[in-house]
Homo-oligomer: A and B are copies of this chain.
């Protein structure tokens, strides 16, 4: 019964013990999946519990209501990533054009391509039903994100790489393509695969190229955007 009596081949920590710690996380993950897939209202708490492998009652042991579960899902999936990013940004060595590209790519790897992108879709879809959490999202996600972008653009301007564009709107120019991609992925894109064109990565490159053309003092002379009908791609679907 004492931990020392556990046979060495037994999995360390009993099933129950291990579960207890993991429960909230498992529930949050299951809830994220379902909320993103079906929306808040169409998601049944039984389903969330079942997907997390527990009973309905257990869910309410950890979250006092479906609404609080929703809030927890949103909060949990945007835990301070911005600190980390701000650090990377400050210590970035290359030129700002590279920094911006790096930013898009890191965002795609860590957010856009992951389930976390579903949170954004969720927020836009349910914003009006959860004004309180929308405010939270605005403070914790949107404003820090905009600040980050603003810093990058400022850096470009300061270094003479970027044209002196008005910052208040340029942040939207940079961010809108990302947000659009997340919305698309979790709505039309989920129903009609390939409706975006071919690959999100190429979509992002096109957006980067476009944004940099708008920002750079000396934009590249020729279009570096890879064409979907270029030889590296199967020609099966091109125009």
Whether A129 and B38, one on each chain, are in contact in the complex, defined by CB atoms closer than 8 angstroms, is yes
**Does A196 sit at the interface, judged by CB under 8 A?**
yes
**Does A234 sit at the interface, judged by CB under 8 A?**
yes
Given A173-B210, A203-B172, A39 contacting B126 (CB threshold 8 A): yes
Q: B-facing mask of A192-226, CB < 8 A → 1, else 0?
A: 10011110001101110111011100010011011
Whether B134 and A188, one on each chain, are in contact in the complex, defined by CB atoms closer than 8 angstroms, is yes
Interface size of A by CB at 8 A reads 76
Chain B nearest CB, measured from A37 CB (Å) = 5
Whether B168 and A173, one on each chain, are in contact in the complex, defined by CB atoms closer than 8 angstroms, is no
Chain B residues with CB below 8 A from A190, complex form: 127-128
Chain B residues with CB below 8 A from A227, complex form: 166, 168
Partner of A210 from the list B179, B186, B214 (CB cut-off 8 Å) is: B214
**Does A12 sit at the interface, judged by CB under 8 A?**
no
Chain B nearest CB, measured from A58 CB (Å) = 16
CA A198 – CA B177 in complex, angstroms?
A: 19
CA A191 – CA B227 in complex, angstroms?
A: 40
Partner of A176 from the list B41, B165, B176, B195 (CB cut-off 8 Å) is: B176
CA A197 – CA B190 in complex, angstroms?
A: 31
**Does A145 sit at the interface, judged by CB under 8 A?**
no
**Does A228 sit at the interface, judged by CB under 8 A?**
yes
**Does A135 sit at the interface, judged by CB under 8 A?**
yes
Whether A163 and B222, one on each chain, are in contact in the complex, defined by CB atoms closer than 8 angstroms, is yes
**Does A116 sit at the interface, judged by CB under 8 A?**
no
Whether B206 and A166, one on each chain, are in contact in the complex, defined by CB atoms closer than 8 angstroms, is yes
Chain B residues with CB below 8 A from A170, complex form: 206, 210, 225
**Does A187 sit at the interface, judged by CB under 8 A?**
yes
Whether A135 and B192, one on each chain, are in contact in the complex, defined by CB atoms closer than 8 angstroms, is yes
Chain B residues with CB below 8 A from A209, complex form: 214
Partner of A128 from the list B41, B173, B186 (CB cut-off 8 Å) is: B186
Given A177-B176, A214-B213, A168 contacting B125 (CB threshold 8 A): no
**Does A98 sit at the interface, judged by CB under 8 A?**
no
